[in-house]
């Protein structure tokens, strides 16, 4: 199948040019913020001894989370994927407009921002991580769709009927692995976590965040078998391991730890 000829620019207003990738980030953050407000407002999800964040507090959290994603994602890209290059060109680390973000770094940055924000506002940090985890797959789904629109991060060569010839990936048809990731890391995980939240609420702070960590790690590792590894890194040990797999292992371990440490929220006096 030929690659659809998408325009990378979503729309422009005079000198302001908005690309699909940026629009995906913005929509993911705003959509996640709206979903988080809905979860916080549903009293059935919050046990008596656990305080839910107010709408105003969630407005502040959006700013913290956005900064955490950008800073963490950029530093993760620098440290995990191009450490030698940026060691020689340190000023380019700040040039985020040139592209280059790592999801695992962005996740760590967002998690740290949410944790610190919760402490500052006197809220249970693990319950706040649960809210963030419940809404995060929405942004993941939109981001992977934007990767497909941009014709980047394509899959490995294949002969499956739905294979696509990407414009910058040579003549071979490839897996549309961006869509695999959008469906699994995004939509599937979003639905699974929504079911868990509706059934259990946030009665065990940290449990939803733990399930997110485990679920993302598993789906990412599976999708890595269809995704072409970064050219400058290639395959790691044994000709099958990728950096995405390696970075997902500590995420799975952290998810297991969060899930196991989750305890029932304190009962109000």
**How do the domains of the chain map onto residue ranges?**
9-51+124-261
Taken in order 84, 89, 91, 96, the sign of the CA dihedral is negative
Look at residue 17 in the predicted model and tell me its pLDDT.
73
- What gap in Å lies between CA 153 and CA 176, rounded to an integer? 9
Overall average pLDDT of the 66-82 stretch: 81
Task: Quote the percentage of the chain above a pLDDT of 90.
Answer: 52
177 — pLDDT class (breaks 50, 70, 90): very high
Residue of 21 and 258 predicted with greater confidence? 258
Look at residue 110 in the predicted model and tell me its pLDDT.
87
**How do residues 190-222 score in pLDDT, each as one tens digit?**
999 999 999 999 999 999 999 999 999 999 999
- What is the DSSP secondary structure assignment for residue 96, as one 8-state letter? G
Tally the C-alpha atoms within 13 A of residue 86's C-alpha that lie toward its C-beta. Answer: 17
Tally the C-alpha atoms within 13 A of residue 225's C-alpha that lie toward its C-beta. Answer: 4
Cβ atoms of 31 and 138 closer than 8 Å: yes
Look at residue 122 in the predicted model and tell me its pLDDT.
92
**How do residues 86-133 score in pLDDT, each as one tens digit?**
888 787 777 666 667 777 788 888 889 999 999 999 999 999 999 999
- What gap in Å lies between CA 221 and CA 225, rounded to an integer? 7
DSSP letters spanning 223-253:
HHTTBPPPTTT---GGGT--HHHHHHHHHHH
- What gap in Å lies between CA 103 and CA 247, rounded to an integer? 10
**How do residues 47-57 score in pLDDT, each as one tens digit?**
988 999 999 99
Neighbours of 57 (CB within 10 A): 17
Look at residue 266 in the predicted model and tell me its pLDDT.
67
Q: Encoding tokens for residue 266?
A: 């304190």
pLDDT exceeds 70 at position 154: yes
Look at residue 267 in the predicted model and tell me its pLDDT.
60
- What gap in Å lies between CA 243 and CA 26, rounded to an integer? 27
**Could you tell me what percentage of the chain is helix, strand and coil, using 3-state DSSP and rounding each to the nearest 5?**
65, 5, 30
Whole-structure pTM value: 0.86
Overall average pLDDT of the 24-36 stretch: 88
């Amino acid at each position: 199948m030929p690659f659809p000829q998408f325009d990378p620019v979503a729309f422009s207003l005079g000198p302001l040019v908005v690309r699909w990738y940026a629009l995906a980030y913005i929509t993911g953050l705003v959509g996640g913020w709206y979903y988080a407000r809905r979860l916080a407002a549903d009293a059935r999800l919050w046990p008596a001894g656990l305080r839910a964040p107010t709408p105003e507090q969630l407005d502040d959290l959006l700013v913290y989370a956005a900064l955490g994603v950008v800073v963490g994602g950029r530093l993760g890209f620098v440290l995990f994927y191009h450490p030698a290059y940026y060691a020689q060109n340190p000023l380019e680390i700040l040039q985020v407009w040139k592209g280059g973000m790592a999801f695992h770094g962005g996740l760590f940055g967002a998690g740290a921002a949410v944790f610190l924000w919760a402490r500052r506002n006197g809220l249970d940090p693990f319950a706040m991580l649960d809210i963030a985890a419940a809404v995060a797959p929405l942004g993941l789904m939109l981001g992977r769709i934007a990767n497909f629109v941009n014709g980047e991060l394509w899959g490995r060569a294949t002969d499956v009927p739905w294979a696509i010839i990407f414009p910058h990936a040579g003549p071979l048809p490839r897996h549309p692995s961006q869509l695999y990731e959008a469906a699994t890391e995004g939509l599937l995980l979003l639905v699974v976590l929504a079911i868990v939240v509706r059934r259990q609420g946030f009665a065990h702070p940290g449990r939803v965040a733990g399930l997110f960590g485990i679920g993302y790690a598993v789906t990412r590792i599976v999708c890595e078998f269809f995704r072409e590894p970064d050219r400058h890194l290639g395959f790691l040990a044994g000709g099958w391991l990728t950096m995405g797999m390696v970075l997902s292992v500590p995420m799975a371990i952290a998810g297991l730890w969060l899930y196991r440490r989750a305890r029932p929220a304190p009962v109000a006096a």
